[in-house]
């Protein structure tokens, strides 16, 4: 029996366990998406509130392709389903890798999952209730008697989802910097020395996440600069405690 064959035989029990857990995640996602689709119109109306509040000229959205509304509701339901099943997905991943971790590694993994989830939720909430209304107010300020806004339903939902996702991920920056410092990979001085390079990278990533919209890029990049500086401070603080 070759080495590859023996390795495959040894991995077979883990492969079966991984397959079962992936099936559970998939089933939970399908169920959550199906249930969410029933309430997709109410969820969509909730997402439209910031847009309607931003302009007195707008009280409805439009769609120009026949299947656009159906596909938009379906994508919205899938997105909300992913968020709902996120704890289940983390639990299944945890149950798969936990037997191979040591006691201190398990505690560290739980800490990582907890804070990563909390910060992502904080960033998404800040984006929807804090940043999104201001962005929409600016964009809709161009509307008037000579210029009528006709936002498309599908593209608006995509814009909201992209904005919320971008800010949710951006709020992970200080946490990742602190974790890198605690693991001994880098020190706070490194982040200070490379500040300009990281700032340039932040602007570039913000530009990609906002699909090239300069106003949205600025609204995303400025909070990222503040989060980066907070990451430097926390990395130095926890570094001194460790010493």
Indicate whether 124 belongs to any domain.
Answer: yes
Indicate whether 204 belongs to any domain.
Answer: no
Indicate whether 54 belongs to any domain.
Answer: yes
Nearest to 227 by CA among 176, 190, 179: 176
pTM: 0.71
Report whether 53 contacts 133 (CB < 8 A). yes
Indicate whether 225 belongs to any domain.
Answer: no
Indicate whether 33 belongs to any domain.
Answer: yes
Question: What one-character DSSP code corresponds to residue 128?
Answer: I
One digit per residue, the tens of pLDDT, for the chain of length 243 reads 454 555 545 545 667 778 888 899 999 999 999 999 999 999 999 999 888 888 877 888 888 888 888 998 998 898 888 878 877 887 777 777 666 556 665 566 667 677 777 888 888 888 888 888 888 887 888 877 778 888 888 889 888 887 887 787 778 787 777 777 776 677 778 888 888 888 898 888 778 766 666 776 777 788 888 888 888 887 787 665 555
- CA distances from residue 118 to 23, 48, 124 in whole angstroms, order as listed: 26, 25, 10
Number of domains observed in the structure of the chain: 1
HEC-encoded secondary structure of 84-98: HCHHHHHHHHHHHHH
Indicate whether 128 belongs to any domain.
Answer: yes
Range of the domain at 50: 3-171
Structure tokens at 209: 């996440």
Indicate whether 26 belongs to any domain.
Answer: yes
């Amino acid at each position: 029996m070759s080495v590859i064959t023996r390795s495959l035989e040894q991995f077979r029990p883990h492969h079966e366990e991984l397959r079962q857990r992936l099936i559970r995640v998939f089933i939970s996602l399908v169920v959550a998406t199906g249930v969410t689709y029933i309430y997709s119109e109410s969820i969509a109306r909730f997402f439209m509130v910031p847009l309607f509040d931003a302009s007195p000229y707008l009280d409805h959205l439009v769609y120009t392709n026949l299947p656009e509304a159906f596909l938009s509701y379906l994508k919205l339901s899938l997105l909300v389903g992913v968020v709902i099943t996120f704890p289940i997905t983390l639990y299944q991943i945890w149950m798969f890798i936990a037997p191979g971790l040591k006691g201190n590694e398990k505690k560290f993994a739980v800490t990582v999952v907890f804070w990563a989830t909390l910060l992502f939720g904080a960033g998404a909430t800040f984006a929807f209730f804090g940043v999104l209304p201001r962005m929409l107010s600016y964009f809709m300020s161009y509307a008037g008697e000579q210029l009528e806004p006709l936002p498309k339903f599908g593209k608006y939902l995509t814009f909201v989802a992209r904005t919320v996702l971008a800010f949710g991920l951006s709020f992970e920056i200080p946490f990742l910097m602190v974790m890198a410092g605690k693991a001994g990979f880098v020190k706070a001085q490194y982040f200070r020395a490379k500040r300009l390079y990281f700032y340039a990278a932040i602007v570039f990533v913000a530009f990609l996440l906002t699909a090239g919209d300069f106003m949205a890029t600025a609204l995303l990049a400025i909070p990222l600069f503040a989060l980066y500086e907070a990451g430097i401070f926390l990395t130095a603080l926890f570094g001194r405690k460790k010493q």
